[in-house]
Structure 1
Amino acid sequence: MSPPRQQIEQLHNIGRRRAWVIWVVAVSVYVLAVFHRSSLGVAGLLAADRFGISATELASFTVLQLLVYAGMQIPVGVMLDRFGSRVMLLAGLAAMTLAQLAFAFATTFSIAALARAVLGAGDAMIFGSVLRLVTAWFLVRQAPLVTQLTGQVGQLGAIAAAGPLAWALHALGWTRTFAVVSSIGVVLMVAVALLVKDSPYRVAAPVVVKMRVLARSLRSVWGNPGTRLGMWSHFTSPFSVTIFGMLWGYPFLVQGEGLSSREAGILLMVMTGWVMVAGPAMGLLVARFPYYRSPMVVGVVTMIAVVWTIVLAQSGPAPIWLLVVLVLAIATGGPASMVGFDLARTFMPQEASGRANGVVNIGGFLAALLTIALVGIVLDWRQPAGMAAYDLADFRIALSVQYPVWLLGVVQILRFRRKALAHLARVHPGSIEQLKRGEPFVHPGFSDREGV
């Protein structure tokens, strides 16, 4: 049914100055979310000392945070379609601010774990909200590049967590550092409240999803093979860089490879910086060759697995140049994961984008939390004496748990690519030829009948 006339009255230009202002504010919130998410990466060893915990317990901080994040993606997607990006950004900022403040003063494992869970809940509200603003405020031809820019600019938060946060923890201590960084959220709440609008139209009518139709709506979103293709793309490509940046990279480089804290921090910043270089390049490739998006993802995943194999097969510590190649390779998985959201945009219309992006986003974080937990379990199994006793051989065995996750993901990408292309050809004749010509295809409307 066509929307009422007042719902489509346009007030602002799409893809122009106001759109970019809104995007800058929204992506700043995402930068902060990535910073908070990654903050345990350089604080892991300090956290183990502060709370007197093992590797498995340390991993449980990040696993719990990511579990809450992943578990909230569908509810957040429904709320996002109902309330819009502005409300969800404000709610997410409030949750993250309170969580980091609690983490600053926590002295027990249970309180710290609760703070990380709340942080995951707030973080869960941010990225999908920013992507919805991109969908609403930018032209179709702009969307792939802006989506990539969103993901890559967000990695500034990881750079801040890898470098400045490590310095602050050393100079200011645990409590003062986390208390100071929590206050940044208050400033961004004011910016969001003043500058962000959900839509360039007069009335951005919320999607009121009644309980009796919610299950059918979610079945349709999940049943569309393009949504699952996006989810498996996001499952397979970014988890290696996530586990490396969020928790295990720093201990691997320092205790396993024998680097200094400074050298490890520099490598983590190089990794994140490369994400920002590779992102725009991936965005241009996706926009130019939309038919080959899934093969691009599979190619990146294969490259990551090959480089990891070379590093883990070394008889001793890897040379520094090889570790640089490693962080560059795994960093490319970040931009590759953003292809999943571009796939969702092809298969699902804007009014269902919150739910579709939520499903896609679950993938990468389920893979990350599974792998982070497995690495911690294997490390404790290999070396019950604790984190201080881990050596390179322990990390080699533990980090090998990535291989079955990559294999599962690639198999599923290839499987659902075939189903997704068949779905497009059946439901939207001519769309495959359009994609092969390098022309973007955007789903024209939502229909429960299009789920398979």
Structure 2
Amino acid sequence: MNAPRAWLIWTIGVLAYLVAVAQRTSFGVSGLEATERFHAGAAAVSFFTVLQLLVYAGLQIPVGILVDRFGSRVMIAGGAVLMGLGQLELAFADSISAGVFGRVLVGAGDAMTFISVIRLIPLWFAPLRAPLVTQLTGMSGQLGQVISVVPFALVLHSAGWTPAYLMLASFSALAVVLVLAMLRDTPPGHPPRDGSQGLRATGVSLARAWRQPGTRLGLWSHFTVQFCGTVFAMSWGYPFLVSAQGTGPGVASALMGLYVLVGMVAGPFFGSFVAKHPMRRSAMVLLISAATALTWAAVLAWPGKAPLWLLALLAAVLAVGGPSSMIGFDFARTFNPQHRIGTATGIVNVGGFVAALLTIYLVGLVLDLLNASGFSGGNLYGLDPFRIALSVQFVFLLLGGVLIVLVRRKVLRQMAAQGIHVRPLPEVLAERFRERRRRGRDLDGKQDSTVH
């Protein structure tokens, strides 16, 4: 493969994905302003993001099928057009219905982007390099959150709502131009894509992708480790930090920036880990899930407002969930043939966003119920209401962890039937411990013989 050309194609795809992430996360930064602009309560404001994520998640499987048929270039450019129109609509919206319509367009365009970029990787890069490039894709795309946290937030607070969202719409226009001018679906000489597949063949391909236990393991892995970070970055993180924890906008933006930075730094580590230890991918997912649950428990159980170091730890742990969720796409890649990767990736990508949209909506609903009951004392986004509402996350973390364990057993049985046997991790660790002790005794014996 032509390595420089491959990296150029990947760069254009990542730039489009970066813009998509900026569009996706922008509303989370403007949540407090949205409450005032649309005269809405917590549940109504959360509905903007919930509907956006509902559209995103609902389109993942159709988009996966379409990108297998029509290629990444058409899908990425079309997605950028939809997101630009959505942000243009939101820039001038002054009613809840108009604002929701804008976020629906953003969700639809966003849905067309990530899968299409991921679809490019196995076509342009060697298999051994694919896990690292996949992580770099997720890592680089998260710079879009920096755009929403820093320049977008600055324009929003200085120039106002309309100029800030017009700026985001212009980024999408730039992405359309770059993709159409420079991005190509396949390397020169690659067999042409079959775009004539009928509905029956499409249904068969979707069914086979779903019946593959490795696809479902990827789905539940993505479900479990991705959603907490999405909830934090897209909806409730900023209000929780500013209103409940009293950090102030500057500190909250810094913590959101830390979230992005840690996610970028962690990405290459996970890519290297997956490449070196492909049989330990699900164990890593379960470890990250447990760390997320413990850190949220510490923050929510802290008497009074949590110290800054603990909030920084929370942002860092949640950030790790982003790159670790990319392990789910590696399951889709390794357990499915190349012509079905887009479909399988679409199935996997549904997981985390379904969990996120349910959590975002339930948090807003609980906050409104507590406010209506008088529990919040007139402070809709107070610390005690947030403690109860954000505990919804533990339900989905537990559910995802159980499903990962159950599906992993099916994957291991399938691999055993193919003659691939995976030793349990505790057994491997115990053997390594015994080996180190044996080497230590041998070394001590050599030292003793040298002395005497």
| Corresponding position of 2:449 | none
TM-score (norm 2): 0.91
| Corresponding position of 2:198 | 210
1:309 aligns with 2:297: yes
The equivalences for 1:47-126 within 5 A come to 47-126=34-113
Asked whether the 8 Å contact 1:135–1:143 carries over to 2, the reply is: yes
Q: CA separation of 1:204/1:429 partners in 2, compared to 1, >3 Å: closer, same or farther?
A: farther
Tell me by how many angstroms 1:420 deviates. Answer: 1.1
The equivalences for 1:27-38 within 5 A come to 27-38=14-25
> Alignment partner of 1:238: what SS?
helix
Aligned residue among 228, 250, 256 for 1:262: 250
Asked whether the 8 Å contact 1:25–1:195 carries over to 2, the reply is: yes
> Alignment partner of 1:383: what SS?
helix
In 2: Cα distance, 1:294 partner to 1:260 partner = 38
| Corresponding position of 1:162 | 149
> Alignment partner of 2:315: what SS?
helix
Stretches of structure 2 lacking an aligned partner (at least 5 in a row): 429-452
Aligned residue among 396, 401, 410 for 1:410: 401
Aligned length: 422
Q: CA separation of 1:204/1:388 partners in 2, compared to 1, >3 Å: closer, same or farther?
A: farther
| Corresponding position of 2:362 | 374
Asked whether the 8 Å contact 1:198–1:204 carries over to 2, the reply is: no
1:328 aligns with 2:316: yes
Stretches of structure 1 lacking an aligned partner (at least 5 in a row): 1-12, 438-452
In 1: Cα distance, 2:331 partner to 2:320 partner = 18
The Cα offsets for residues 24-72 of structure 1, whole Å up to 9 and x where unpaired, read as 0000000000000000111000011001111001010000000000100
Tell me by how many angstroms 1:185 deviates. Answer: 1.5
| Corresponding position of 2:445 | none
RMSD: 1.8
* Letter of the structure 2 residue corresponding to residue 138 of structure 1: F
The Cα offsets for residues 398-441 of structure 1, whole Å up to 9 and x where unpaired, read as 00000110000001111111111222332x434859xx99xxxx
Tell me by how many angstroms 1:188 deviates. Answer: 1.7
In 1: Cα distance, 2:149 partner to 2:229 partner = 13
| Corresponding position of 2:419 | 429
> Alignment partner of 1:305: what SS?
helix
| Corresponding position of 2:448 | none
The Cα offsets for residues 383-411 of structure 1, whole Å up to 9 and x where unpaired, read as 13898533100000000000110000001
1:130 aligns with 2:121: no
* Letter of the structure 2 residue corresponding to residue 367 of structure 1: A
> Alignment partner of 1:315: what SS?
coil
> Alignment partner of 1:205: what SS?
coil
Tell me by how many angstroms 1:378 deviates. Answer: 0.5
Q: CA separation of 1:267/1:217 partners in 2, compared to 1, >3 Å: closer, same or farther?
A: same
TM-score (norm 1): 0.91
The equivalences for 1:257-296 within 5 A come to 257-296=245-284
> Alignment partner of 2:66: what SS?
helix
1:300 aligns with 2:288: yes
> Alignment partner of 1:198: what SS?
coil
In 1: Cα distance, 2:379 partner to 2:238 partner = 13
* Letter of the structure 1 residue corresponding to residue 152 of structure 2: L
The Cα offsets for residues 340-385 of structure 1, whole Å up to 9 and x where unpaired, read as 0001111001100110000000001000001001100000011138
In 1: Cα distance, 2:230 partner to 2:221 partner = 15
In 2: Cα distance, 1:329 partner to 1:180 partner = 31
Tell me by how many angstroms 1:159 deviates. Answer: 1.4
Asked whether the 8 Å contact 2:218–2:329 carries over to 1, the reply is: yes
The Cα offsets for residues 3-22 of structure 1, whole Å up to 9 and x where unpaired, read as xxxxxxxxxx25x0000000
* Deviant stretches of 4+, over 6 Å: none
* Letter of the structure 2 residue corresponding to residue 168 of structure 1: V
The equivalences for 1:12-27 within 5 A come to 13-14=1-2, 16-27=3-14
| Corresponding position of 2:26 | 39
Asked whether the 8 Å contact 1:232–1:409 carries over to 2, the reply is: yes
Higher mean C-alpha deviation, range 254-263 or range 181-190: 181-190
| Corresponding position of 1:239 | 227
In 1: Cα distance, 2:381 partner to 2:118 partner = 40
In 2: Cα distance, 1:294 partner to 1:283 partner = 14
Question: Percent sequence identity over matched residues?
Answer: 48
| Corresponding position of 1:172 | 159
